[in-house]
Chains A and B, each alone.
Chain A
Amino acid sequence: MEILVAILAGFLIASATYLLLSKSILRMIVGTGLLSHGAHLLILTMGGLKKGAVPLVNKEGLPVSDPLPQALILTAIVISFGVTALFLVVAYRGYQELGTDNMDELKGTEGNE
């Protein structure tokens, strides 16, 4: 199971890398979204995917799955959302001001490097 999810996360990260290397800003932001999915899945996998119970206190004292990675992922999800939202608005404003979403056209020119 862990192997499968690790491979899946690797695939997500590879795709994200490919998207990040493209020219369009929107595709890059989609890439960051995929990248954070891959990272979150990795964190979860590293905590071990033993099928315990949901991490709630239970009377029977059943084993639960590890709560710590889940807390970490929850934090990471929120932060990556904030960053993605900011990126998107930057892309939107940049397109408004500069009239392009092509990264190559956004390259600094000789005069104002």
Chain B
Amino acid sequence: MSALHFAIISPFIFAIFVPFLYKLFRKIHTGWFVLLLPSILFIYFLQFISVTRDGDTFIRTVSWIPSLHIDFIAKVDGLSLIFALLITGIGALVVLYSIYYLSKNKEKLNTFYVYLLLFMGAMLGVVLSDNLIVLYMFWEFTSFSSFFLIGYWHEREKSRYGAQKSMLITVFGGLSLLGGIILLYIMTGTFSIQEMVANVGVITGHALFIPAMIFVLLGAFTKSAQFPFHIWLPDAMEAPTPVSAYLHSATMVKAGIYLVARMTPIFAYDQSGTWIWLVAGFGIITLFWGSFNAVKQTDLKAILAFSTISQLGLIMSLLGVGAAALHFNELSENIYTMAIVAAVFHLINHSTFKGSLFMMAGIVDHETGTRDIRKLGGLMTLMPITFTIALIGTFSMAGIPPFNGFLSKEMFFTAMKHIASFDLFNFSSLGILFPIIAWIASVFTFIYSMMLVWKTFTGPYKPEKLAKKPHEAPIGMLISPIILVSLVIIIGLFPNILSATVLPAAANAIMPEFIFDVHIKMWHGVNLELFMTIGVIAIGTLLYLSLSKWSRVYSLFPEKLTLNKLYDAFIPSLESSSNVFIRSHMTGYIRAYLAYIFIFFIGILGITIWGKDAFVLNTENTASIGVYEAILALLIVIGTVTILASKSRLTSILALGAVGYTVSLYYILFRAPDLALTQLVIETISVALFLVCFYFLPKKFHLEKTRFKLTNAIISIGVGLVVTLIAIASSSTKLFPSISKYYEEHTYDPAGGENMVNVILVDFRGFDTLFEICVLAVAGLGIYSLIKLRMTRRKEG
């Protein structure tokens, strides 16, 4: 158990103590205690920068289930480190923010911080595990802690709906990820990611390669809200704002990005380029769709949710494009590696500005009581600090200099521009779409960023629509977003702080083959990217100003065909169709169930006989038919037919008795005296019992009940036929002689009896007899209690 392992599970351990702290110190907000942990962890993880900067990795292993190749391998490399720093750093800021956001008297803080710590530990586990099964375990931990957090206000129906939706979609993805992990294990025989990367030759070109890739990508796409699985994210906005800021902007939705980045060295070497097309394609679609839909939202958090979706798509497409570098080594300066750097860079930038924007939205909500931009406006003078935060965050999001969003947007355009000239997978035709879509999406990004800031803070002030009288938020609530926007500015002005420390190592973890020499410049000179950015700003401004004129384009698309409506139709229809299915065959009639059993019996045995050609008829070993046997057979047939045809109960009982006695005569003919004796006695008692029951039951069968039924008759004939065929076939094939010779020779010596059947029953196979006695005893007790025990009221008479 190393310090690193302890760091990963420390949030889980701390979560145990949170309820006690909450109960013992009611005066102090529980968040203050919780704040210690992520801060300490953040400082702890900062130490690793010196390790990873030189390209080293830090690995500690704890054995967990060695027989199944499952060990808890904790590994810190450049990529993990960035994520760990984001999780702990933003975690600390979010906890600080939540201390002021959630009131300690109204909310159940103990559960909130327990869930939050569970989530933090799970997320650290995801990014620091090298073993895929352990990674999957933590992955599902994030799924359900996120479920708890979204449904935190569980008395609201929308919260429960959003929680259920995110749960269903992410767990669906999580399970397919597990499938992918198992397929990878089948191919390589290991669960460790580094060993898989070392054995990448085995995986590439394997028959299971594509299925494994698709399963893993399903997991990543559902978690990272890629098209068409993005629908859970806007509904997850029902969670408290600190949760939205933490989970749905900075950490959990990046888990899929992390997985894609981590799996790039495993999957991207394939020559067909499937990985590149899937990741880049879905990423670019998500980028466009998210930004396009963000413009039509009216709720601050909904805009931010769609914005998150589109930014995740941007990072995803960059990862996909970057993977193309592996196939294209002709240029001395491999331009596609730039995309990987851009992806990691934008990931950091997005976490900073999106976290601050969510906190800003929370502050506005807190101070005005609404998040609807149609009711908000003119808050600039009332909330100047919040306005500044929003301004910096949105400008960074829109990609306007001098903020960090501008830099990553530039790098994004560069990467997309180059993909158009990429000709290995015939990008010359389709690849041209990438920069065009990327550019259009950037225009929409610009529009909603402008909406976010101007519609909230400028324009007419509408106090009559607001629940509260707005004023500036308390300083404690502002600390976290201020720190985040300072980061936005600092990274924007001095990007090489990052490029000198964490960026190259992270890019190197994604692409182990390349040497990254990252140097980010603010000014690239006059080139296409610059014009693209200018175009985005110009066109975006025009479109924003004419928003009211063209916003009708959103009503062109029918509401019924949106993915949300499809999901909402799918879940109830799944329920109702399974209900219909169950009701169609689970009728509650025992006859129906018996019919299913018999039909299945006929089917499975009949098909086997027919398919295996198992029926043989061999009469050389059979005994001859005597006249007595024939007469008895006739008697039995007559008795049985009488039972079938009788309308009265008495007749059928007596006929059953007749059949039983005839069977005992058979036993006599076949030289089985004990059987004949037992059969006679038992048949007598049975008939007596039947008559006792008969006395209490109605005298006649209802006429309609004994009517001949063709279906039942066909089923019965089928069953009889199958049994007969099997009996004839098996008696015709004697595979080996009976073991009864042994019993015959040893009955007298050593067993000391003369009646072989009795000696078998009590000597050779006495156990059967013991438990047959038990059966009779239990039946007797059961009958006794059935008759004696009357729990319901007794009827008089």
Contact = CB atoms under 8 A, between A and B. Distances in A.
Interface stretch (B180-188, B572-580, B651-659): B651-659
B107 interface: no
Contacts of B594: 20-21
A96 B760 contact: no
A41 B633 CA distance: 11
B640 A93 contact: no
B754 A54 contact: no
A2 B768 CA distance: 27
B622 A90 contact: no
B33 interface: no
B792 A64 contact: no
B670 A65 contact: yes
Given A15-B643, A55-B671, A10 B727 contact: yes
Contacts of A45: 727, 731
A17 B761 contact: no
B783 A85 contact: yes
Contact of B682 (A65, A71, A77, A89): A77
Highest count of chain A CB atoms <10 Å: which of B637, B698, B727: B727
B3 interface: no
A104 B705 CA distance: 10
A47 B678 contact: no
B775 interface: yes
Nearest to A51: B623
A17 B721 contact: no
Given A1-B624, A8-B633, A89-B787, A33 B775 contact: no
B738 to A, nearest CB: 6
B595 interface: yes
Interface in B660-713: 660, 663, 666-667, 670-675, 678-679, 682, 685-686, 689-690, 692-694, 696-698, 701-702, 705-706, 709, 712-713
A1 B757 contact: no
Nearest to B591: A21
Contact of B701 (A6, A24, A91): A24
B716 interface: yes
B682 A81 contact: yes
A92 B640 CA distance: 24
B744 A34 contact: no
Contact of A19 (B643, B672, B674): B643
A97 B694 CA distance: 16
Contacts of A22: 591, 705-706, 712
Nearest to A55: B756
B786 interface: yes
Interface residues of A, number: 85
Contacts of A53: 671
Nearest to A10: B724
B663 A103 contact: no
A47 B394 CA distance: 89
B649 interface: yes
Given A68-B760, A103-B590, A48 B694 contact: no
A83 B717 CA distance: 25
Contacts of B590: 103, 106-107
B786 A103 contact: no
Contacts of B690: 26, 29-30, 88
Contact of B629 (A1, A20, A77): A1
A75 to B, nearest CB: 5
Main secondary structure, interface of B, reads: helix
B727 A18 contact: no
Nearest to B778: A82
Contacts of B226: none
Contact of B728 (A6, A17, A89): A6
Contact of B712 (A2, A18, A49): A18
B794 to A, nearest CB: 9
A18 B678 contact: no
Highest count of chain A CB atoms <10 Å: which of B633, B670, B679, B724: B670
B772 interface: yes
Interface in B766-797: 768-769, 772, 775-776, 778-780, 782-783, 786-787, 792, 795
B625 interface: yes
Given A34-B656, A92-B693, A82 B723 contact: no
B755 interface: yes
Contacts of B782: 86, 89
A67 B644 contact: no
B712 A92 contact: no
B663 A85 contact: no
A85 B731 contact: no
Given A10-B727, A46-B730, A95-B696, A74 B685 contact: no
A14 B717 CA distance: 5
A54 B598 contact: no
B678 A74 contact: yes
B605 interface: no
Contacts of A17: 598, 712, 715-716, 719-720
A89 B624 CA distance: 43
A34 B658 CA distance: 11
A71 B765 CA distance: 9
B724 A84 contact: no
Contacts of A12: 636, 640, 659, 720
A14 B756 contact: no
B589 A18 contact: no
B621 interface: yes
A63 B768 CA distance: 26
A55 B757 contact: yes
Given A4-B630, A14-B716, A95-B696, A57 B748 contact: yes
Given A10-B720, A56-B754, A67-B744, 8 more contacts: A12-B720, A30-B656, A48-B738, A64-B671, A68-B760, A74-B757, A81-B682, A101-B697
Interface of B: 587-591, 594-595, 598, 617, 619, 621-626, 629-630, 633, 636-637, 640-641, 643-644, 649, 652-653, 656, 659-660, 663, 666-667, 670-675, 678-679, 682, 685-686, 689-690, 692-694, 696-698, 701-702, 705-706, 709, 712-713, 715-717, 719-721, 723-724, 727-728, 730-731, 734, 738-740, 743-744, 747-748, 753-757, 760-761, 765, 768-769, 772, 775-776, 778-780, 782-783, 786-787, 792, 795
The 10 closest A-B pairs by CB, nearest first: A14-B720, A10-B724, A82-B779, A67-B756, A6-B727, A18-B716, A17-B716, A1-B623, A55-B756, A71-B760
